[in-house]
Amino acid sequence: MDVAIVGIGIHPFGRTPARSGLQQGAHAARLALQDAGVEWGDMQFAFGGSASAGSADALVNELGLTGIPFINVANGCATGGSSLIAAYNAIKSGQYDVGMVAGFDKHDRGAFNADPKELGIGDWYGEVGLMMTTQFFAMKIQKYMHDYAISHNTLAKVSEKAFINGSKNPNAWRTKPISVDEIIDSTMVSNPLTKFMFCSPAEGGVALILCRADHAKRYTDAPVYLKGATMKSRRFGSFEVFAPSQALQQVDGPTVDASNAAFEMAGVGPRDIDVMQLQDTEVGAEIMHMAENGFCEDGEQEALIQQGATHIGGSMPVNTDGGCLANGEPIGASGLRQVYENVLQLRGQAGDHQVPGDPTLAYTHVYGAPGISAITILQR
Amino acid sequence: MSNQIPIAEGLFSWPAAKPALLASRCKRCGIAAFPVASTCMACSGQDVEIEKLPSRGTLWTWTIQQFMPKTPYKSNETPESFIPYGVGYLELPGGVRVEGRLTENDPHKLQIGMEMDVVFEPYRTEDNGDEVINFFFRPVRSPQ
């Protein structure tokens, strides 16, 4: 039994002082129900996640107390992907016919301040100033630039593209294009990455309605099928965020593992993908994730990005809605935003950020602490 | 003279004439880990022995932390007195790559592959006057 996505809803990302994170989640949930032509009372189950805006299952207070099982998922940046996998399996197993996946969040301004203890690391690690995701991403791209000759200009071009795409997306946070020079000259945060090369914690909500594929046409003329959904944690030897040490012998990270598993599950390869949303918490991540997900060889990004291949009209459009860079990262909602965008793309409803050529296969990827990755492959 | 205490017990030998970072090495698979752990992350083995890591290695990658981190960062600095600091992974031959602060914060004086020594220096002073010692990586010489 295949699984289809038959309804999608989003609350605009960015800052919405008048609404709590929960209310943003409820807004997205109502739109998703409306999109599928169903009522909350039709939902047989729900999975949801929120990192900083309360329990996802508090959504029932907004949507109605119907008695369904609503399970909270907490998996860092992979929360949305993990919720989706849980829902996929719930339907695939035959237990349920139709249900909801929801994610929302509302974070304070500024970088996340993680607690080492929650990850089993000593207090000293945070006290001396190593408990910073920004440092990891900076050090990973620093090494990658050294090994594969990626230029600073290419780093900036990733942000430039993100803000251009954001300007075409009415639900994005950052909607004003910023020049390459302005990006390079903005405040240095963690060398080589400047302020405009990082995404920020933000707010937003996304909800999806999933059902058995053979019921999909009851809800929509344009179902999108979940052909692959995988999540992996790190193996020994991969270079990960919040690691006081790493092994001398390096192995592939969880992105590579989750990506390989997703392609195998879907029975397709990287060359078949028409549009991709890759975790871009900063520009280096997008560059490295292009190769880690199999879309190019290490080092090819320099030419691809300089040639504009990752733009909406390019040969491999990446982060067509502006990605995390233009939308910010509300952790609970971020991975589902990628899926929302891909459903729009596959339905041909993405408006100014629609990729040309009637895309049929779309790919999402998230990466997060302490070394996890989740992938989805969607097909119309 | 003020009392000097390590930032965490068991992270490095202290007090010692020649302090060193401490690692655990798995007796089953031979993989070293820092900080010392009772279980081997490589093979799940639980029989480990503690050893001193080498005091010199090569810089694997680095960055400069340009703004003052929020809590749990704990130094004697204020946002006004904060000085950007280098962070890097030092590859210690035969051991592991250890993440730590660098004594150097000038990006022009840091290069991947440069040699660095592990040094132990005061990091902050507690209210009772105790000096808290942390490990740092210091360039052996300036890059050409």
- Is 2.60.40 the CATH number for B54-144? no
Reported as a single tens digit per residue, the pLDDT across B22-68 is: 999 999 999 999 999 999 999 999 999 999 999 999 999 999 999 99
How far is the C-alpha of A283 from the C-alpha of A364, rounded, in Å?
16
User: Over chain B, what is the mean pLDDT?
Assistant: 95
Please state the domain extents for chain A.
3-108+199-379
Averaged pLDDT in 10-residue chunks for chain A of 380 residues: 95 96 97 98 97 93 97 92 95 97 90 75 95 94 98 98 98 96 97 96 96 97 96 94 92 97 98 98 97 98 98 98 96 96 98 98 93 96
If residue A258 lies in a helix (H) or strand (E), which one and from where to where?
A: helix A254-266
How far is the C-alpha of B120 from the C-alpha of A145, rounded, in Å?
31
Does residue B89 have a pLDDT over 90? yes
CATH class of A3-108+199-379: alpha beta
Report the residue of chain A nearest B90, measured CA to CA.
A245
Distance of CA A54 to the CA centre of its chain: 20
Q: Say if CB A113 and CB B69 are below 8 A apart.
A: yes
Residue with tokens 């949801």: A48
Residues in chain B within 8 Å Cβ distance of A111: 69-70
Best CA proximity match to A226, nearest among A7, A35, A377, A82: A377
Residues in chain A within 8 Å Cβ distance of B63: 135, 138-139, 142, 190-192
A370 touches chain B (CB under 8 A): no
Please state the domain extents for chain B.
9-53, 54-144
Residue with tokens 């009851």: A218
Say how many C-beta atoms besides its own lie within 10 A of residue A130's C-beta.
22
Give me the pLDDT at residue A120, please. 80
Residues in chain A within 8 Å Cβ distance of B97: 245-248
Q: End-to-end CA distance of chain B: give it in Å, rounded.
A: 39
- Residue B2's pLDDT band, with cuts at 50, 70 and 90, is confident
Subunit contact B42:A237, Cβ cutoff 8 A: yes
